[in-house]
Amino acid sequence: MPIVQQGAINTTALIVPDLYVQIVPPQILLLNGVPTDVLGVVGTASWGPVGEPVVVGNMSDYASGFGPVMARKYDMGTQVATAVQQGAANFVCIRATDGTDVAASLTILGGVLLTAVYTGSLGNNISVAFSPGSAASTWRVTVALPGQTPEIYDNIAGSGASFWVNLANALNDGNGVLRGPSRLVVASVLSASSEPLVGVFSFSSGSPGSDGANSVTVASLIGVDTLPRLGMYALRGQGCALALLADADDASQWSVQAGFGLSESVYMILTGPAGDSIADAITVKAQAGLDNYGAKLMFGDWIYWADQANGVTRLVSPQGFVAGRLANLSPEQSSLNKPLYGVIGTQKSGQPGGGTATTYAAADLATLFGAGIDVIANPQPGGAFWGVRCGHNSSSNAAINGDNYTRMTNYIAATLSHGMGVYVGQLVTATLFQNIRATLLSYLNGLLGQGLLGRTGSALPFAVVCDATNNPQSRTALGYVQADVQIQYQAINEKFIVNVQGGQTVQVSVQSASTLN
């Protein structure tokens, strides 16, 4: 009485009389949507791996992985911090450098060379303490870095050269099942046979580490698309719904970012240079050839922000605020008229404490929005608060220029790409067509039930065709199967018109209570 998986045996060629039990998997696949809150951030830092994606959930995670927020242009921590203030809590961070980054190092008593595991100036704060071990005639070595859990290596035996070998082995390979290899330093044995001494040895007295941030350009943040990938291209396949390159205000790289966004279904948040003018912004955007739904260009009216980590009020790009707010919104929503937090002021609105405050004229906003450029401004249609004033991407096509179009399209496409591949390799039959259609309809009905899709009438806002009408035998014989899906997104109320007729000669029709209710 064999038990087999369906398709494992040829049921038309059985010889032995027996009971054959086939396990038949569910025929209709249920799709679960991909996350839409993952924000990719590329920028400089004072610690951490270069070009390697690191998942971060909050500022504590960021400090542990990349060090503190740095008060400088292209700083990754600044963008993460401003996005966190908007409610974002799911980041993929990529550290970029100019190639001159160096790891801090320290030689201890001529016996061992310790090098920080990552490049960057934060490594200059590493300290190594020597003290008597728990067992007789052994040593305890503690490697510490502020903000990280100290690493304790106990009962390191030996004297002279043998001690340094044992220490290096403990740091590089671990010291027992509970103390793995160091995540702060790498050890190299030197030729000296000196004895260890009780004391604290600081990396600040050794060869200093450097961040490799002084000569970073936007091209450094873009990176390379060959293995190992660096910069923006290291975000490939990371499942990001949104991404930004910190302070990347070089217009010559905007189209490159937008192209990456289209290829990866990632909504790229771009920025113009600080202190830009409206006329220049429009001219530069046109010259850059930026006109597609894959990117959102923010006007170069940079934001005054209280950097509590450094105790200063700084001028920062609007990218983190916008990306963080979108990451904290469902994909059918627009950034228009949604409050932003942590904004003290902007360049166009006057420096904080300066006693001046200006607002954008309607003509200014119309000029910007007509060119596909968005801006952070105050007031908003809903009141006197800071927010994104338009909610558009960089496309000039009114049918696809909303935040909601980009995010819903990317979300649906990524979900289908992630889940529908299970049907590849199956036999082309009427049952396959039925299963594909049922899967797609189930997913779309789920979107409708949860409010990501909506309708103003009785008709469903979607349709799926996958049958013989769009899969003729001439196509299926070549291995093709096609599903045609139409989905109507919900529109965004951008221009709300209230018609008011007033005057002492106006005739008001009487409304009954039932009508009012």
Torsion angle, alpha carbons of 308, 313, 316, 322, to 10: 60
The β-bridge partners of 129 are 142, 200
Question: Mind giving me the DSSP string for 26-38?
Answer: PSSPPP-PPPS--
pLDDT for the residue numbered 352 = 74
pLDDT for the residue numbered 29 = 82
The CA distance from 378 to 301, in Å, is 12
Does the pTM exceed 0.85? yes
Q: How many other CB atoms are found less than 10 A from the CB of residue 328?
A: 18
Asked whether the predicted pLDDT for residue 8 surpasses 90, the reply is: no
Which amino acid type is present at position 272?
Answer: G
What confidence category does residue 356 fall into, taking pLDDT thresholds of 50, 70 and 90?
low
Residues 6+ apart with CB under 8 A from 367: 278, 282
CB crowding 394-433: b at 16 or more within 10 Å, else e:
bbeeeeebbbbbbbbbbbbebbbeebbeeeeeeebeeebb
Q: What is the CA radius of gyration of the chain?
A: 30
Place of tokens 């027992």: 176
The β-bridge partners of 388 are 336, 376
User: What would the mean pLDDT of 357-380 be, rounded to a whole number?
Assistant: 94
The CA distance from 464 to 476, in Å, is 18
The CA distance from 245 to 261, in Å, is 12
In tens, the pLDDT along 288-316 reads: 999 999 999 999 999 999 999 999 999 99
Q: How many other CB atoms are found less than 10 A from the CB of residue 110?
A: 12
pLDDT for the residue numbered 20 = 87
pLDDT for the residue numbered 178 = 86
Q: How many other CB atoms are found less than 10 A from the CB of residue 2?
A: 11
What confidence category does residue 515 fall into, taking pLDDT thresholds of 50, 70 and 90?
low
pLDDT for the residue numbered 246 = 98
Question: Mind giving me the DSSP string for 397-417?
Answer: -TTT-BHHHHHHHHHHHHHHH
Bond before 228 cis per omega within 30 degrees = yes
pLDDT for the residue numbered 233 = 98
Mean pLDDT computed over every residue of the chain: 95
pLDDT for the residue numbered 353 = 67
In tens, the pLDDT along 320-341 reads: 999 999 999 999 999 999 999 9
In tens, the pLDDT along 412-471 reads: 999 999 999 999 999 999 999 999 999 999 999 999 999 999 998 899 999 999 999 999
In tens, the pLDDT along 232-287 reads: 999 999 999 999 999 999 999 999 999 999 999 999 999 999 999 999 999 999 99
CA distances from 385 to 73, 337, 343 (A): 26, 9, 9
The CA distance from 291 to 299, in Å, is 15
3-state DSSP assignment of residue 344: strand
What confidence category does residue 514 fall into, taking pLDDT thresholds of 50, 70 and 90?
low
Residue 360 structure tokens: 């954008």
Which amino acid type is present at position 411?
Answer: Y
In tens, the pLDDT along 65-107 reads: 999 999 999 999 999 999 999 999 999 999 999 999 999 999 9
In tens, the pLDDT along 185-225 reads: 999 999 889 999 999 999 999 999 999 999 999 999 999 99
Asked whether the predicted pLDDT for residue 510 surpasses 90, the reply is: no
pLDDT for the residue numbered 359 = 87
Q: Nearest-CA neighbor of 211 among 339, 313, 70?
A: 70
Q: How many other CB atoms are found less than 10 A from the CB of residue 51?
A: 17
The CA distance from 239 to 356, in Å, is 43
Asked whether the predicted pLDDT for residue 174 surpasses 90, the reply is: yes
Domains and CATH numbers, the chain: 39-97+228-404 (3.40.50.11780), 105-205 (2.60.40.4290), 427-505 (no CATH)
The CA distance from 478 to 335, in Å, is 45
